[in-house]
A and B are shown apart, each in its own frame.
Chain A
Amino acid sequence: GNSVTQMEGPVTLSEEAFLTINCTYTATGYPSLFWYVQYPGEGLQLLLKATKADDKGSNKGFEATYRKETTSFHLEKGSVQVSDSAVYFCALSDPTSGTYKYIFGTGTRLKVLA
């Protein structure tokens, strides 16, 4: 079945460091891909999305490119801030059944130190 695999956390970085959080997926058909962020005590917020191969989603300095050949959607940011500390979820929207069920990875906790 369809699935999303994220790198294990936690990831601890110093402020202004480069961030990569790996995400790979398994899907039949052509899913849309998403990154969500969850701050403590909150629900998930959409960070960015990409809907077809080679699309690049970007928001707030974060970027991810939909790579069909490697079935990946890695999240990157050139210079992280303390305020980026949160849990990041990779997700796909499964169109195969026509019901567009969302499938989430396990989440990666990011901690940025001042």
Chain B
Amino acid sequence: KAGVTQTPRYLIKTRGQQVTLSCSPISGHRSVSWYQQTPGQGLQFLFEYFSETQRNKGNFPGRFSGRQFSNSRSEMNVSTLELGDSALYLCASSLVGRNTEAFFGQGTRLTVV
């Protein structure tokens, strides 16, 4: 069974540009969550999607957005990139239920220069 796949693995962008990251969940998983990980702030929740609807959103500015498609694949977009957006972006998928765990992809390392 394939795991969570994130593409690309590495990305270098310039300030002011925008970027789109992709996440393919484990087959059958309909919940997809995104996290930003930085050395200073740790692991911060961005948003969670289920059945193409955003159900939870973390405390990030509107420059951060996402969506989920009918096949549960998800994308997140960051517009007007800032140096502080440099981070490892992790996607996690899960079944829905009280006792289920989240499965993580390897992440996309975004560097803003």
Q: Do A and B come from one complex?
A: yes
Residues of A in contact with B (beta carbons under 8 Å apart): 32, 34, 36, 41-46, 49, 51, 89, 91, 93, 95, 97, 99-104, 106-107
Q: Is the interface of A mostly helix, strand, loop or mixed?
A: strand
Report the separation of the CA atoms of residues A51 and B90 in the bound assembly, to the nearest whole angstrom: 24
List residues of chain A with CB within 8 A of the CB of B107: 42-43
List residues of chain A with CB within 8 A of the CB of B42: 104, 106-107
List residues of chain B with CB within 8 A of the CB of A41: 106
Q: What size tier do the contact residues of chain B reach?
A: 20 to 34
Are A101 and B104 also in contact (CB < 8 A) when A44-B90, A95-B98, A107-B42 are? Answer: no
Contacting residues of chain B (7-30) with chain A, CB-CB under 8 angstroms? none
List residues of chain B with CB within 8 A of the CB of A97: 56
* Cβ distance A36 to chain B, nearest Cβ, rounded Å: 8
User: Is B92 at the interface (CB under 8 A from chain A)?
Assistant: yes
Are A100 and B97 also in contact (CB < 8 A) when A44-B90, A107-B43 are? Answer: yes
Are A46 and B103 also in contact (CB < 8 A) when A102-B33, A104-B43 are? Answer: yes
Interface hub of A36, A99, A100, A101 (most chain B Cβ within 10 A): A100
Encode B29-48 as 1/0 by CB contact (under 8 A) with A.
00101010000001101001
